[in-house]
Structure 1
Amino acid sequence: MDELITDILQQLRTNSQSALDAHQLEALLRAHSGGTRSTSRTTQIPKRALLPYFLQAKDQNSELWQSWNITPELEARFIRSVRMKPRRSASGVATITVITRPHTCSSNCLYCPCDLRMPKSYIANEPACQRAEQAFFDPYIQVAARLRALHQMGHSTDKVELIVLGGTWSDYPISYQYWFVSELFRALNEWPASPHQSKKRLNWYHSLGLHHTEEALAAFVAPQQEAITAGTTSYNQAFHQLYDTSQPHQNAWAHMSATLDDLYKQQQKNETAACRVVGLVIETRPDTITAANLKLFRQLGCTKIQIGIQSTRQEILDANLRHMTTTQIKRAFSLIRLYGFKIHAHMMINLLGATPQSDKYDFDTFITDPGYLPDEVKLYPCALVEGTQLVEKYHKGAWLPYSKEELVDILVHDVLAAPCYVRISRMIRDISSTDILVGNKHTNLRQMVEQHLTSEDLAGRVQEIRFREINQQQVQADELTLQEYAYTTAVSDEHFLQWVTTDNNIAGFCRLSLPHWDKLSAGMCDVAADELAVQPGQAMIRELHVYGQALSLGTEGISAQHQGLGQKLLAYASTLATDAGYTSLNVISSVGTRAYYRAQGFIDAGLYQRKELQ
């Protein structure tokens, strides 16, 4: 291993302008395998082992480290050369997904999985769920493990977006919500010591009598899970039978409680921590959205809400036992928007009662009706999973899955229809093919869609954000153009400001929201002005993001980050708000970005940061 790293460093010194490409690195790996390409597959040093060994030498073997004679610039190029899964931080931040503990759900949708090992709607075989289960759903342990994995793959963890999944966040006790988020922050604040602390926490769960082997977990839920599959009990009923009588779980869950003051202490530490939270996402349902809940979300530090819409058509919602109205959904959108959150909506294709044509119409409605207009969409097909109420509909012939061709056709339509301010983040759920009885099992559905767009010469028409992200592309600020796209919602005028390259790739953007204060104050909207946490005359920046491989805080790079693009977006947004007659500008900042906004003239103002406009 030492010789291999020495050779890589030598090649980097010879070619001092860039990192090694994949072919150059593969050639070096083969050269140190002791065999030919055909025989070296079992003996070749794996790429994933390079960076952990390199970093371990830096931390623990000063003699070896000094012998390599590594400058900071050379170290950065080495990491770029051997980094695993570079797209994970290509958006400019490192993303960490965590799962809340099993809990009942106040809804019971037709298609929703009922795995008692998980919070409702999730399945134990999903990757994030597997990690959570091994961590006893402890948020601290989950974050510490992901930090270590990202670090070993060569990703900067200075800027972290936390995504909290678990069905319906608002159904959990408030004291649990405070505790869960406090522990997320604590794990980041205590890095790099948090993996060591995780071992103590794991031992504590074991001491309570909890186990996380596959055999023990499956056996624990087996009788109740069989009853759900047979249709003789519901998830909520089985949950109470199982967990209410489990003393180890009750003992563990009794400790999962904290106060708002506990949370604030961890948030304050995170403002200057080595790993700062630059985004916090939670998941809930439209019918749980209230002004009180949104204020709580802001106290937690939340900046984006994942919300399950599934459809804009009432008959489809009713058929799938999605017990809410389109009026409720639109009001939820209005409230979320006016509180400054980014709206990440979930929509499902192929629900009971839908057709390929009606699904296209549904998406068109979603991106044109002023009551909706999301910022981000998770768009995925319905699949048949054991234990759901949809199984009976399938056996009766009432529901059938779409073909691969039909799915691709719908998704191509949706991608082409999406406006420039919408990001389609996902096209599948991470459900294992072994858990899907019937339905899409193609994990590369997005790739199929993009290949179709390319083969039909349609890629140039795509405006959707994810398709246009610069990822690891190197850009200079003077090569970019600032474009403005304005649109009107039921409660605001929205301005999407984007930095684009000559070929329309996006390097950064800002979402400026100008509320219709005259209509809100006059009671002409589905939300009243006195329900809000901001005052008439105030505008809101709901998101500011600049792309590029995640760089360490305070460092310079030639990605889009660190070139003043964010400052210019803020300045332009301030001018737009001023010209429109607004008196001040709020920003829904994350805990880890508060210092940045203070430097731009914003002051702390309750749930937001604010700047007075001239």
Structure 2
Amino acid sequence: MSGIRLEPGDLSEWLDDLRCSILDEPPNTAKELELIRRKIAKKHKLKMPPGDAQLFSILDDDLKLKIGKFLRRKPTRTLSGVAPVAIMTSPYGCPHGTCTYCPGGPEFGTAQSYTGHEPAARRAARHGFEASAQVLDRLGQYSAIGHDASKIDLIIMGGTFTGRDLEYREAFIKGAFDAANGNISKTLPLSLKSNENASNRIIGLTIETRPDQCSSIAIDWMLENGTTRVELGIQSLDDEILKQVHRGHSVSSGFRAGKRCRDAGLKLNLHMMPGLPGSTSKKDYEMLIELMHNEKWRPDMLKIYPCLVVKGAQLVQKWQNGEFKAMDNETAINLIADVMCKAPPWLRIQRIQRDIPSHEIIAGVTAGNLRQLATRLIEKEGRRSGCIRDREIGRVKTKPDESEFRTVIRKYSAAEGEELFISQEAPLYHENEEDFEGFLGGVPLTNEIHNWSSSDPAGGVISGFLRMRKPSKDIWREEITENTVIIREVKIFGTAVGVGEQSGKESTQHKGLGSYLMKIAEKTAKEHWGANQILVTAGIGVREWYNTLGYKRIGPWMGKSL
């Protein structure tokens, strides 16, 4: 709720009264808290009580613990268990040049492919593109709206980060970690080490780059500096289309880069751009299905950005000449809905459409809520999405009972290696979904490893999962032997709970599920693959937790012998 803006000093009597009332009769709901606030505001002759963000900023720690959950605004921000913090690098062009659809760039004072009007771009510019200032700004925003931000998922945006010079890259990462640590270290390694025990820990680091800038050398550097996820701009699975838009890499280079990332234990998020010049709606759908289902690809995550005609892009001229027709809203909504319904159970469709303001878009998809519109269409047609995001326990409308959850192990091939997706799932029932033999509400009923098939139904409600890979034969790190497997991700859903804090009744974090999935993974790796060593790609801020499970540093990973 909004309220009058007062300085903290003006609220001392009101706050003292509120504190006493809450301690005497602790509210059990947001509505009960609101009644207390209004009653005391009336007593002190305030027209309205202060807003949530201001009230949260002046509460002491005891009161934050008691009523903070009732003040939290924008709850979806941390529903997936972490606090995303996106920061942007300074304006710099891509090494290969400029794609025809790409706006922005150094000549416009923005990072390549950004207009400068996106929220993250504006925030970055406001702080002179300094990493530390951007992180502190974002953490302050989380605190102001009542969210715990002690588990940070750091995302570095701004184009081809691995194409920048080494000095800039390391200084930028150090600035981000120093801000999270609350102190300035002398070197990057010391800053990373400090974060292992910091109050605000960076539990994941994402780097955006291009396939042609994702060599084994680049991956080694990313691993050494705490990277856990790589985002690759694949854009299309057609070499002619890539050539036409001056993309500067081939489909095969995208495959090889993705394979290297997975073999090194990194999570893989691929970007696709339907509606490019030379493509069709049918072709776009077929390429997205191929990316999700063909064993060459099968990424962990996917971002779908329909091609737009944006001010400043070379594509504007082609559109003006009538040589290019951009995808419209209806086509995009139908495409996204169809793709969401075909998503395999390990896939999270991370994002749909860019944060480009409508006034910068000359032609193309103008609907700012494309995912929401696609979801409405799916519901209207009696279908359901298979995307992990739509099945998270924190997002489903009907929460399953704890007794309904079971451990599921799905096996599939990807990028010439083998993957096991170990999850904790409960049936997700849908009135129009046909019964599948051997499944209940999308959950396989077998107690053995389930070999995934593209004909399988969408998965069930998911509270946590683990990704484990048996790498391909093209490994280059001496730490990885033929009997080594790598855990690429462990994820527990539910509203983020602070480091070292006890979880509430409704949260799934800090209840032993992560440790349980690790035990299942170790047992399965040994029995199914005959593995004698297990490595984990652990974010810097999670290393301490893996230590408690008996894991020690092995190169850039945490690992142990089985």
- TM over 0.5: same fold? yes
Whichever residue aligns with residue 78 of structure 2, its letter is S
Counterpart position of 2:110: 118
Q: Secondary structure at the match of 1:530?
A: coil
Q: CA offset at residue 86 of structure 1?
A: 1.4
Letter in 1 for 2:324: W
**Correspondence for 2:316:** 391
CA gap of 1:305–1:530, structure 2 versus 1, over 3 A, is: closer
Map of 1:134 onto structure 2: 126
Q: Deviations over 1:28-62 (max 9, x none)?
A: 7777887xxxxx8xx674333221132xxx28xxx
Q: SS of the residue aligned with 2:187?
A: helix
Determine whether 1:469 maps to 2:392.
yes
Partners of 1:604 and 1:437 lie apart in 2 by 51
Match of 2:346 in 1: 421
C-alpha separation in 2, matches of 1:8 and 1:428:
44
Q: C-alpha distance in 1, partners of 2:358/2:320?
A: 20
Provide closer, same or farther for how the CA distance between residues 476 and 300 of structure 1 changes in structure 2, counting only shifts above 3 A.
Answer: farther
| Contact kept in structure 1, 2:181 and 2:194, CA below 8 Å | yes
The CA distance in 2 between the partners of 1:119 and 1:599, in whole Å, is 41
* 1:433 shift after superposition: 1.1
Q: Which amino acid aligns with 1:389?
A: Q
Instruction: Tell me: CA distance 1:442–1:371, structure 2 relative to 1, closer, same or farther (3 Å).
Output: same
Structure 1 residue 529 displacement after superposition: 3.1
**Alpha carbons of structure 1 residues 32 and 383: separation in structure 2 relative to 1, 3 Å:** farther
* 2:181 maps to 1:172: no
Counterpart in the other structure of 2:243: 318
CA distance in 1, matches of 2:400, 2:181: 32
CA distance in 2, matches of 1:170, 1:390: 26
Q: CA deviation at 1:392?
A: 1.3
Alignment-derived partner of residue 530 in structure 1 = 476
Query: Which structure 1 residue ranges, 4+ long, deviate > 4 Å from structure 2?
Result: 4-16, 24-34, 472-479
- 1:592 maps to amino acid: G
- SS where residue 558 of structure 2 aligns? strand
Q: Residue in 2 aligned with 1:587? A: 536
Find 2:493's aligned residue among 547, 558, 565: 547
Q: CA deviation at 1:14?
A: 4.7
Alignment of 1:207-606 (within 5 A): 262-459=187-384, 462-471=385-394, 478-503=403-428, 504-516=460-472, 520=473, 528-530=474-476, 534-557=480-503, 558=505, 559-579=507-527, 580-606=529-555
Which of 148, 153, 158 is the equivalent residue of 2:150? 158
The corresponding residue for 2:80 is 91
**1:145 maps to amino acid:** D
Q: TM-score if structure 1 supplies the norm length?
A: 0.78
**How much has 1:380 moved relative to structure 2?**
1.9
Query: Do the aligned partners of 2:104 and 2:116 also contact (CA within 8 Å) in 1?
Result: no
Higher mean displacement: 182-191 or 539-548: 182-191
Q: Which residue of the partner structure matches residue 231 of structure 1?
A: none
Q: Is the 8 A contact 2:329 2:365 kept in 1?
A: yes
Query: Are positions 1:48 and 2:38 aligned together?
Result: no
Which residue pairs with 1:79 in the alignment? Answer: 68
The two structures have a TM-score, normalised by structure 2, of 0.85
For 1:122 and 1:383, the matched residues in 2 are separated by 12
Query: Structure 1 CA distance, aligned partners of 2:153 and 2:544?
Result: 17
Distance 1:388 1:33, change over 3 A: farther
CA positional deviation for 1:509:
0.6
Q: Deviations over 1:496-549 (max 9, x none)?
A: 111123432211110010124xxx2xxxxxxx3336752221000000010121
- Going from structure 1 to structure 2, the CA distance change for 1:32 and 1:369 (only over 3 Å counts) comes to same
The Cα offsets for residues 355-399 of structure 1, whole Å up to 9 and x where unpaired, read as: 211111010110122221110111121111112111111012221
Determine the C-alpha separation between the residues in 1 that align with 2:380 and 2:23.
37
Structure 2 alignment gaps of length 5 or more: 1-10, 429-459
Letter in 2 for 1:463: G
State the AA in 2 paired with 1:338: D
Change (3 A) 1:173 1:603: same
Question: Secondary structure of the equivalent of 1:349?
Answer: coil
1:350/1:401 contact within 8 Å kept: yes
DSSP 3-state at the match of 1:371: coil
Which residue is equivalent to 2:140? Answer: 148
Contact 1:498 1:510 in 2 (8 A): yes
Rounded Cα–Cα distance in structure 2 between residues aligned with 1:443 and 1:148: 26
Q: Which stretch shifts more, 286-295 or 485-494?
A: 485-494
Aligned-partner residue type, residue 46 of structure 1: G
1:8, CA displacement in angstroms?
Answer: 8.8
Amino acid at match of 1:470: I
Secondary structure of 2:498's partner? coil
| Structure 1 vs Structure 2 CA RMSD | 2.4
5+ long unaligned stretches in structure 1: 35-39, 60-71, 195-257, 521-527
2:469 corresponds to which letter in structure 1?
Answer: S
1:103 maps to which of 82, 92, 96: 92
